[in-house]
Amino acid sequence: MAFDAVMFDFDGVLVDTEWAIYQSWHRLFREHGHDLPLEIYTRCIGSDFATWSPKTHLEDLTGRKGFDWHDLDARRQIEIMDELEGAGEMPGVAAFVGRLELRGIQRAVVSSSSHRWVDGWLGKLGLAPRFQTTVCRGDAPRIKPAPDLYLEAARRLDVEPARCLVIEDSLNGTHSAKDAGMSVWAVPNRVTDCLDFTPADRVFRSLEECVAEF
């Protein structure tokens, strides 16, 4: 069917941020003698630690409740930004967004991350002007996997949810969009490739594959 709007998740869809974030957690777990398989870690991808928390998981594994999470989070953030230095948009972003612009299809970024994180990246990469709106944590009562963020994006664009296509890389995001009444194309990345995206309408290997459908 034809769509009036296409909504993109941010982390792992527009920019490959998730691998660096996962690696920072994996290193911390290894420092304390434990592994952090992707199959477990992906429970929080697309949502937050209320869904599943690596902090609680590490505390449970080690039997230790005295971690200085303030300092550890600050250290991980430095590691993440160092690893992401010079990172660009994912392959296919420019072509996909350009195709949508030519067809007059509205575009939004919908993320459970903060505006500071998402808007910062969109501005840095020059992508901000190419989207009509950005909906992030705090713009709706609940984040993914609840449908609130996607419903807020549809409201802002003044489109019916059934006329919206969502591009997601996580199951939390997929469930969020489906519960909002939207179609979902899943584009797994190296963090979420282990997941079963049966709930999605279609699954693609990259955004470049999606372009051919428009």
pLDDT digits (tens, 9 = 90+) for 74-112: 999 999 999 999 999 999 999 999 999 999 999 999 999
Listed in sequence order, the residues at least 6 apart from 208 whose beta carbon sits closer than 8 Å to its beta carbon are: 91, 92, 95, 96
139/161 Cα distance (integer angstroms): 17
What is the structure's pLDDT at 127? 97
What is the structure's pLDDT at 1? 63
What is the structure's pLDDT at 48? 86
- What is the pLDDT averaged over residues 195-200? 96
Question: Per the residue annotation, which of 11, 16, 35, 196 is the catalytic one?
Answer: 11
Q: What is the mean pLDDT of the chain?
A: 96
What is the structure's pLDDT at 212? 87
User: Could you tell me if 105 and 4 are in contact, meaning their C-beta atoms sit under 8 angstroms apart?
Assistant: yes
According to CATH, the topology of domain 5-16+89-211 is Rossmann fold (3.40.50)
Domain definitions of the chain by residue range:
5-16+89-211, 18-83
- What is the pLDDT averaged over residues 9-19? 97
Instruction: Verify whether residue 9 is a known catalytic residue.
Output: yes
Given a cut of 80, whether residue 29 has pLDDT beyond it is: yes
Instruction: Verify whether residue 11 is a known catalytic residue.
Output: yes
Whole-structure pTM value: 0.94
Question: Per the residue annotation, which of 9, 68, 73, 169 is the catalytic one?
Answer: 9
